[in-house]
Amino acid sequence: MVGTRYEVEIGPVAHGGHCVARHDGRVLFVRHGLPGERAVVEVTDGTETSRFLRADVVEVLTASPDRVKPACQYAGPGLCGGCDWQHAAPAAQRALKSAVVAEQLRRLAGLDMDVEVEAVDGPPGLPEGLGWRTRVQFAVDPATGSAGLRRHRSHDVEVIDACAIAAPGIEELGIEQRDWTGVASVEAVAATGSLDRAVVVTPAEHDGRMPIVELDRPVAVFRADDRGRVRKVHGRAGVREVAAGRTWRVSGNGFWQVHPAAADTLVAAVLDALEPRPGDVALDLYCGVGLFAGAIADRLADSDTVIGIESSREAIEDAKHNLREVPGARLEVGKVERVLSRPGFLRRADIVVLDPPRAGAGKEVVERIARLTPRRIAYVACDPAALARDLKYFAERGYRLRSLRAFDLFPNTHHVECVAVLEPAPKQPSAKKPGNKR
């Protein structure tokens, strides 16, 4: 079955960077096509008994007017799996993502609403959608020691000489030109607003040895072990990111948004959503290094309480450093659901922001938030399916979706960032029981 070719009509976009097509009644999830195209596709995954097949477009017979030539030579069938939509014009990419978000909301949350994915300015002087990614995880081909990126749904490495969506600060390091023999992966970081650069090297063999790292620019070097723990080899303890009027310390390979405009864009959307007021108790869940907590604190009085919860101890240490001048800041390390369930931890929260990982918050966290009866919730989500599922959980606990904004913070990929705003649903008037007539 793999390698079989069919001529098909490409149908609607689906979540995950592909479109839906059909052949003899069987569904095919097709990459590198666009809705409305006629194309020859080649099966890449599936058998005669599979419910559906995966396939790549290998020949376009009738092209969509939205089709463009990919900017990167490695974007195509069987090559790098990082970019899903380089063959679509930027405006068309946003329209596809809008359709995906709307479909997930409708299917999983029962919400029928129009969605518009908003364009976000990328680095100046570069073509739209290119040169934005400030953190890149390179894989290393064990046979050659060359750096590259994974192929779609594969551990195979596509060796590259440059990445079109990588930020200039990443490409200046020259990682693709270096021999990485003995290394499994290299994560490269180029901070926004400072000249800080870092690499996190994971050796192929965890025997305590560290390959010598020589790059084309001054850089902090970290070593990751087989448990994901990171320690500094030389240079700074992390990088300095500049956003929302502050400089933020992000240690090692700590989390930070990968688009250079993402932090400012999301902070503005969250503050507009929450409308912080003096006297508020504010809660920042999955707070990372304290980005939203710090931005909210700037809108509150010094005596007001801003609580951040984060499972990464390293991130909490960074948050404590970043918010050291915020008198009302309180930071807790631990899984969000466990911290919220501690007896007497918190009785109420006026406003809540949560930015969970791709899997979403889940039913238990939603339940804990709802018990705090906040007047407004801002949910920052990088996966529309997980967001839609959690919105349904919130609806079951008396919260309605007030508004939703979506941002194209991952151009040329299928990923999209959303900020959903929730508030208590109006209480329905109780039905009056008929009285006795006298």
* 310 assigned to a ligand binding site: yes
Place of tokens 């949350």: 109
CA atoms within 13 A on the CB side of 316: 16
Question: CA nearest 414: which of 9, 8, 6, 29?
Answer: 29
Place of tokens 């390390």: 333
Which burial class, exposed, middle or buried, applies to 211 when counting CB atoms under 10 A from its CB (0-12, 13-18, 19+)?
A: middle
How far CA 334 is from CA of 24, 116, 200, 311, 340, in Å, comes to: 51, 35, 24, 4, 10
* 86 assigned to a ligand binding site: no
Active site residue 382: yes
Residue 136's contacts (CB-CB under 8 Å, 6 or more residues apart) are: 163, 166, 170, 187, 188
Contact call for residues 422 and 394 (beta carbons, < 8 A): yes
Residue tagged active-site, from 72, 163, 287, 382: 382
Place of tokens 């599922």: 389
* 66 assigned to a ligand binding site: no
* 393 assigned to a ligand binding site: no
State whether the Cα torsion 145-148-154-155 is positive or negative: positive
222: number of Cβ within 10 Å? 26
Please state, in angstroms and rounded to a whole number, the distance separating the CA atoms of residues 14 and 29. Answer: 8
Contacts of 59-68 with CB under 8 Å at 24 or more apart are 60/33, 61/7, 61/37, 62/37, 62/38, 63/34, 63/37, 64/34, 64/35, 64/36, 64/37, 64/88, 64/92, 66/34, 66/91, 66/92, 67/34, 67/37
DSSP string, 335-359: -HHHHHTSTTS-S--SEEEE---TT
Q: Which residues are annotated as a binding site for S-adenosyl-L-methionine?
A: 257, 286, 310, 355
Q: Which residues are annotated as a binding site?
A: 257, 286, 310, 355
List residues with catalytic annotation: 382
